[in-house]
Amino acid sequence: MGDIRQSLLPRDVLSAAKELLYHLDIYICNLVQSGRQPPQVDSKTLDLIEEFILHAPKDRNAPARRMSALQELQLLEIMCSCFQEQSRDTVRQLMFSALFGLQGNAADESRMALLGKLVSMAVAMGRVPILECAATWLQRTHRVYCVRLAQVLVDDYCSMVPGSVPTLQNIHSASPRFCCQFITAVTTLYDLTTEELTPPIELLQMIVSWIQEDPRLVLITFLNTPLTGSQPINSLDVTPLGGLVRWCVKAPLAYKTDKKQTPTHERSENVPEVGPLFSTLHLSVLQVLMLLPNILNEKGLFGRMGLLQLDSLAALTSELSRLLDQADKHAHASDAHAAPQLALDRLAQALQVAKANGALLCSRGRNLEAVLFLFRPSRLGKVESKIKTVKMRKMLVKHASKLYPHFCIISVFSRINYFDFHSSNNVLLIHKLLEHCKQLVFLLLLNKSVC
């Protein structure tokens, strides 16, 4: 395609970009039909894209070509139509990669700026082909750039334009693949280390509703991508589970810290709602983890591939330890122990359920101890005791699940705080509880048959 440069130079910036897109589509179609494996766009074509679409000057002394805001909007509409009209996914993916694949040069900033605007427009217009290409881009690109794209969408739909959240929420049905990658990117972006890195309430509500409606959503990338063990270095995680666990565990302490630093008269009315939202999210994450054994067995990966990484859990443990130290400074407050206890509860539950269902690969003692050793001995004891409590709950569920499925679900996720499960004297109480459950189930079944 290098020979068309002379014909593009006399044209205005919009006309030249439109003409180049037309020739690029033809060039990539021919490239795919040639059967060359893997099909690869040559460097001369990439140079043309940088010069006439991204407007990176070929000659440093030459003045840069610039589009007006109206011309840029027209170019975005042309690109949307180009991807929408191309019926072959392979061609679309190659074209998207040629336009927005990062090259490690000065044109990458222009690439990112144009990409953010194009994907934002695709969300607004429901352009599924572009969202699907963007999902692939998010899988293959360094996470630093992925979170930049996610930040653009959050700014556009959760901050800048009031009432536009429902538009972003539609990506769940338009492109589940992109939705999954978007969740992974925003959980990487918002790590709850500062107030600026705390997810907006609108974003949190949206993600909770997505996962609550369809727990398998967070596994779509994992389910639909051949995993060869050669994931790009520093790319996003294959699922957002690690980021979601971090949100749930840190939220009680991170939001409490922010709340103490914010004057009462400036506090948002939505702040009290984050507690139930994170509780719902934690429940949904545990439900997703419990789906994994069947999925991993079907892929032949149970015991061979963990979706939660030990190094990320070790980092989470370190962050949580720091937050707990900060919480200790406010130990005189009446509710000072509630938030730390909730954070420890969630960490213990996530570790236990992940380990039991194949999401976390570690030896029985040594590797898990390596994750938890950062806690002070008193806190480590609390985490270990909570893990034992979860094991006891699993024992209850093992028997209750034979009786009634709905009771099984309630037993797993309800907070059973009425018994000291560490005392052998209370085994009789547990058996009494099971007997009462049998009676309750019998009454429920009887009532169901009568109705």
What is the block-wise mean pLDDT of the chain (451 residues), using blocks of 10 residues? 83 94 95 86 93 83 80 96 95 97 93 97 97 97 97 94 90 97 97 91 95 96 76 90 96 69 43 82 95 90 84 86 80 69 90 89 59 54 54 43 36 36 46 52 45 36
Element (H, E) at 251: helix 241-261
At 38 the pLDDT is: 80
At 414 the pLDDT is: 36
Rounded to whole angstroms, the Cα distance separating 157 from 342 reads: 32
At 383 the pLDDT is: 57
At 35 the pLDDT is: 81
Structure tokens at 104: 């490690």
- Residue 63's Cβ-count burial label (10 Å; 0-12, 13-18, 19+) is exposed
Q: How far does Cα 215 stand from its chain's mean position?
A: 12
Rounded to whole angstroms, the Cα distance separating 249 from 315 reads: 12
At 278 the pLDDT is: 95
Other C-beta atoms closer than 10 Å to the C-beta of 87 total 8
Of 179, 184, 174, nearest to 84 by C-alpha is: 174
Of 121, 219, 226, nearest to 179 by C-alpha is: 219
At 65 the pLDDT is: 78
Helix (H, G, I), strand (E, B) or coil at 308: strand
At 315 the pLDDT is: 87
At 384 the pLDDT is: 54
- Residue 172's Cβ-count burial label (10 Å; 0-12, 13-18, 19+) is buried
